[in-house]
Structure 1
Amino acid sequence: MSRKERNAQQEEVLQEEILEETPAEETPAIDAAQLQQDLEKASAQAEEYLNLAQRVQADFDNFRRRNESVRADSYAEGQRAVAAAMLPVLDNLERALDAAANSSDEALKSGVELTLKQMRDAYAKYDVTPIDRLGEKFDPNLENAIMQGSPDEGEPGTVCMVLQKGYRMGDHVLRFAMVKVVAD
């Protein structure tokens, strides 16, 4: 045998020995029951996270709705507060018009009339209306009775005189009317 053949033969033997000595990687035995249990755990956890995410989303939607409602209510309350604060100005313009009626100064009378009209138009734009209940049954939701009239002034329980006009903005009373009511 030649040297080359002997070397080739030795290499083959060495290769076989190396292959025999190296253990093949052991693959773990697949346990179907364990895999099923792991899958069920993962599914349960995913379901829990989904429920949590849905609850958080619902809470956020509710918060957004509440916040929008509070914002709208605050805006409307601000409008009512400004309208109520301006009512004394309207009262004074009406008094000025009554005083100007006895005056010979037509320019003054005309100026007060135009200003009063402008103020009433601005109030009408925001649905501010006077509470006019003269001759009607007294309603404590709209009026404050501060005087009693005699039975000869009208039917008992009716408003016989308005001492100060009341105003409402939509369904909200800005200022209750101060009235005199016929006694029973």
Structure 2
Amino acid sequence: MAEKENLPEELENELDEDMAEEAAENTDDLDEADAASEYNDSAAQFADLEDALAEEKDKYLRLFAEYDNYRKRTAKEKTETYQNASVQCVEKLLPVLDSFERSLEAECTDENFKNGMNMIYNQFKNFLTQMNVSEIEALGAEFDPNIHNAIQQQDGTDYASNYVCAVFQKGYMLGDKLVRPAMVAVAV
């Protein structure tokens, strides 16, 4: 600065301009370097945030899939539990139905008693129908080991081979689930 005082004014102005340009160039270089550094830092932070977001999204999708599977599994188990309980209940009632049918086939002299028994039997059958219980059609049907229990084979019947020719105990289905297979004789 002391040199600056001894120089002519023109040179002094020129020197001030040169120093200002140098300072501006240094500042521009520093600003560009700072901007590039700041950009790189921001890009790295952005990439980290994208990775974290992708990871969280993956966790969310996996959790959602697990929950959906859990919901479907429990709904299926609930339906199966209800159906199994219904099957067990109907299974316990079938011997009562068999006894009713045998009692209706027996001779009875009191018509009022027989009519009353028929009414109760019909109510019982209606109840089973409402519960979606159906009798397996066995007599004259082709033998199916999935719904028939063959306990005997018979020769010389009017039925074709491998067809049910006699029913010893009726079989029942609850919806599409077998409650009790029909005990049958099969023609040979």
Q: TM-score, normalised by structure 1?
A: 0.76
1:63 alignment partner, one of 55, 65, 70: 70
Distance (whole Å) between structure 2 residues aligned to residue 48 and residue 81 of structure 1: 49
Structure 2 partner of 1:88: 95
Runs of 5+ in structure 2 lacking a partner? Answer: 1-33
Structure 2 partner of 1:7: none
1:174 Cα deviation after fit: 0.9
Distance (whole Å) between structure 1 residues aligned to residue 92 and residue 72 of structure 2: 30
Structure 2 partner of 1:162: 167
1:149 alignment partner, one of 154, 161, 169: 154
Alignment RMSD (CA, Å): 1.6
Structure 1 partner of 2:115: 110
Distance (whole Å) between structure 2 residues aligned to residue 103 and residue 75 of structure 1: 40
Structure 1 partner of 2:45: 38
1:122 alignment partner, one of 127, 130, 139: 127
Q: What amino acid is the match of 2:49?
A: A
Q: What amino acid is the match of 2:83?
A: A
Structure 2 partner of 1:135: 140
- CA deviations 1:126-153 (Å, max 9, x no partner) are 2211112212222212111111112244
Quickly say closer, same or farther: Cα 1:154–1:51, change in 2 above 3 A. Answer: closer
Q: What amino acid is the match of 2:77?
A: V
> Normalized per residue, which structure has more helix?
2
Aligned partner of residue 109 in structure 2, secondary structure: coil
1:98 aligns with 2:113: no
Quickly say closer, same or farther: Cα 1:58–1:156, change in 2 above 3 A. Answer: closer
Q: TM-score, normalised by structure 2?
A: 0.75
8 Å CA contact 2:150–2:186 kept in 1: the answer is: yes
Aligned partner of residue 151 in structure 2, secondary structure: strand
1:177 Cα deviation after fit: 0.6
1:121 Cα deviation after fit: 0.1
8 Å CA contact 2:154–2:185 kept in 1: the answer is: yes
Q: What amino acid is the match of 2:172?
A: Y
8 Å CA contact 2:169–2:184 kept in 1: the answer is: yes
Q: Displaced runs of 4+ in structure 1, greater than 6 A?
A: none
Distance (whole Å) between structure 2 residues aligned to residue 173 and residue 47 of structure 1: 50
Aligned partner of residue 163 in structure 1, secondary structure: strand
Quickly say closer, same or farther: Cα 1:65–1:154, change in 2 above 3 A. Answer: closer
